[in-house]
Structure formats: structure tokens, C-alpha cells
Amino acid sequence: MDNKISVSNLNFFYGKAQALYDIALDIPEREVVAFIGPSGCGKSTFLRTLNRMNDTIPIARVDGNVIIDGENIYASGTDVVALRRKVGMVFQKSNPFPKSIFENVAYGIRINGIHSSKQDLNDRVEKALRDAALWNEVKDRLNTSAFGLSGGQQQRLCIARALAVQPEVILMDEPASALDPIATQKIEELVVELKRDYTIVIVTHNMHQASRVSDRTAFFMLGKLIEYNKTEKMFQNPDQKMTEDYITGRFG
């Protein structure tokens, strides 16, 4: 088994408050790993340590190792910009830029200088939109504002935007929590589809979603990783009593 991401001894602090305790887990390449747990358990915080998104919070401090493709991303001298290009992210609330649909997807391609020509840029935007299952809905209005799209479409646009820079890992922070069931279903189908090419880590509050889309599931509680197992096992016969209680809804 090839591990794309390997985390060990990870502790995380907001100022003096510790938010994550000794996290250790391995994420295999081209699998979907779901993080579940009650609100405030640290799953989002942990997700954001994987592309160093917490760097933007002045009081945040990380301790431990996150190794992606054999390199510790917290080693001094890490190119955070290159890291974030490799480890893309989709956020809880869709956050399109105040630009046209086309420019939203083109933004990452442009800033990273990935395209070789205008035609290449167009092709890459189209491919990203197709991969995000959005192309057919927007191909006739690429130059209109992204804010004109529905919530579900905006979220898929954000996924397209992330795909356009050719990441290897995609982090998704509750990508469907603000969407209706139909839009949610589309996102879930997309996640399963994307697994062929990408390693995906998805935070979710929705247990069914975790069981539907993921290969492995990690259960967090009060900043600790309680259990990490194959999703099937996790939902049918978990090792920990706490996991079972949470999954069956006995507390939460």
C-alpha cells in the first residue's frame, strides 16, 4: 500500500489551547478518506494542517510530522505555495471569486503559469468544468458572474477551480453541508468519480455520506483520533465502543 500522506505525532495549538492530540494516520493514494466526529472535535483543523491552511491564523502552532510524498511539509524551507498547488482544497461554503465562471477556473491556472497558450487555457478550463460535472450547465454562459450560479453549482465550480491546477490531493471541508439533497448527491457522485485520479480527504457531518463515498473513515473526538479503519468495518463492526455509540447516534 502506497501512502500519499503520512501523519505522526501531530499536535496543534490555538494559542495555549490544544486542539489536536498526537494524531497519527496514513492516507493511501487514490482513496477517499472521511473524517467524522462531533462539531469542534478538530477534524476541520486537522484537514487544514494538510495544506498548511492554518498558517493564516497568527496564533496557530503545529507540532509533529505531516509527510506528503516523502517530504515533511512542516520542514523549514517548504514551499507553501507549491504545497497548496499539490494539495487542493474545497471549502464548506462555496467561495467563488467575484469574477466570471471562466475566470474563476482560469485563476489558478494563470497564477501558476500552467497553460502554454490561450487555447490551452480554454481547454484546461473546459476539462476542469467537465471533470466537476458542471460543463453542460455553464458552457453557454462562461463569461457571466459566478455569483449567478446556484449553491450546488457554485460548489462544483469551486471543485473545478481546485481541479484546474492539477492537484494530487483534494481536501474537502464539509463540501455538501450547505446544499440540498440533489446537489449533495451530485457532489458525492463526483467524489467517487474523482477517486480514480486523486487522493481525497473529506470532512463530513453526515454519517451516511461518509459510508457512501469513503474507503476509510477516521473518527475524531475532542481533538483525538479515536479510530481509523476501513469504512465498511467502521460502520459495521467498529473496534471502539465510542465509535459505535457515535455512529449509531447514541451521543453526538
The SS3 of residue 206 is coil
Of 91, 185, 205, 212, the one binding other proteins (CB under 8 A) is 91
Contact region with other proteins (CB under 8 A), list: 90-98, 192-200, 201-209, 219-227? 90-98
Q: Is 77 in the site for other proteins (CB under 8 A)?
A: no
Q: 183 to 242, contacts with other proteins by CB under 8 A?
A: none
CA distances from 102 to 116, 120, 130 (A): 17, 13, 13
Q: Is 81 in the site for other proteins (CB under 8 A)?
A: yes
Of 19, 32, 62, 89, the one binding other proteins (CB under 8 A) is 89
Q: Is 88 in the site for other proteins (CB under 8 A)?
A: yes
Q: With respect to other proteins, which residue has the nearer C-beta, 133 or 178?
A: 178
- Chain-centroid distance of CA 72 in Å reads 19
Q: Is 14 in the site for other proteins (CB under 8 A)?
A: no
Cβ–Cβ contacts within 10 Å for residue 34, how many? 27
Strand order in the sheet with 87-90: 71-72, 60-68, 3-14, 17-28, 224-230, 216-221, 32-36, 199-203, 169-173, 87-90
The SS3 of residue 7 is strand
DSSP designation for 69 = T
Compose the 95-124 pattern: x for residues touching other proteins by CB under 8 A, - for all others: xxxxx-------xx--xx------------
Interacting residue ranges for other proteins, rule: CB under 8 A: 51, 53, 56, 58, 81-85, 88-89, 91, 93, 95-99, 107-108, 111-112, 158, 161-162, 165
